Amino acid sequence: MGLVNFNQLYKTVSFVLCLPCLAFAQEKSTVKFENVDIQESCYILSALDVPQFERDKGKPFLEGEFVLGDNAAYDNFQNTMRSARNMACKEVKFPQIDFTRKTILGNLASGSCAARGFEKSVLRDDSNKEIYYSVKVINSNIDACSGPGLESLNLIAVPKIQKNYKVVFSPAHSDHSAYQQYGCENGKMVARDWNGNIVQPRNISPAGGGVFGVQMDCDGTMIEKMPMAEKKLLIDSGAMNIPPPCPEGTTLDGAYCKKN
């Protein structure tokens, strides 16, 4: 019986055992992308976050996640964006895109006043014919802040995506169960959900929609509905802006602004 080369045997066994590991590692590959600059400061992005019952009436809207693969889709996107243009910008321009070589992806994300940017990642899974586009908020290392939060469509251009591939977005934007919108109807302020049903107003706004426990009378008077301790917690965490003083015609009564 010949001598066994244990070193070679170890390498062979290790290679065979790690074949599944190699397959798993190659399952998803990183996709290079380019940021698409459309001067987002020229648009009121929140104006395009339109609930279903207003979409049904024909109001312009933009999905939280979208794929633009040709000039027609890009033109429609531009027209929708122009409907939410900030009047401070006299003119807006969109970059030229060669859709024979590229596809545009958009993934709307928002952060608190502590947010300083967004981390984007694109992966390709050829075995399942899927493209994964994820966005994470990058927060500043601060204990508290106040002021408006950061919001972006996170537009990027990637190599042309084949029609038989599916794009998966993270975080997903399909859950609208937390959405609320206030409106004045028949002299009374009401809250409606994504489908237009009248619902009980929330005390604390969920991420991406609703109000922070603040209601407005139909005459424009603000009425506070949130205890001070709860409000301070939200302000300190950066999830809520510091509210203005009580409006004219009202006085501060404990934790609330009440009509005189």
- Which of 130, 145, 170 finishes a domain? 170
Q: How confident is the model at residue 216 (pLDDT cuts 50, 70, 90)?
A: low
* Cβ atoms of 106 and 155 closer than 8 Å: yes
In a domain, 9, yes or no: no
In a domain, 8, yes or no: no
Q: Are residues 192 and 162 in the same domain?
A: no
- Residue 248 near residue 257, CB atoms below 8 Å: no
Same domain as 152, residue 58: yes
241 DSSP assignment: P
The last residue of one of the domains, among 170, 197, 230, is 170
Looking at the structure, do residues 83 and 135 belong to the same domain, yes or no?
yes
Number of domains in the chain: 2
**Do both 45 and 155 map to the same domain?**
yes
Q: Note whether 68 and 104 are within 8 A (CB).
A: yes
> Is 142 within a domain?
yes
Question: What pTM was estimated for this model as a whole?
Answer: 0.66
Q: In terms of DSSP bridges, do strands 130-139 and 166-170 run parallel, antiparallel, or are they unpaired?
A: parallel
Q: Are both 55 and 126 inside the same structural domain?
A: yes
Any domain includes 22: no
145: containing domain: 28-170
Looking at 121, 141, 170, the residue that finishes a domain is 170
Assign 210 a pLDDT band (cuts: 50, 70, 90).
Answer: very low
Do residues 159 and 35 share a domain?
yes
Domain annotation covers residue 6:
no
Q: Are residues 34 and 114 in the same domain?
A: yes
CA dist., res. 208 & res. 51, Å (int): 12
* Sign for the pseudo-dihedral over CA of 180, 51, 138, 28: positive
Q: What is the pLDDT of residues 9-35, one digit of tens each?
A: 445 544 445 445 444 445 889 999 999
Angstrom CA distances, 227 to 12, 148, 177, 181, 255, stand at: 68, 21, 25, 21, 6
Could you tell me if residue 16 is inside a domain?
Answer: no
More confident residue, 186 or 225: 186
What tens digit of pLDDT does each residue of 168-194 get? 999 888 778 878 887 788 878 788 888
Say yes or no: 220 and 249 in one domain: yes
- Mean pLDDT (the chain, rounded): 77
Give whole-number Cα distances, 212 to 89, 97, 103, 144, in Å: 29, 40, 37, 17
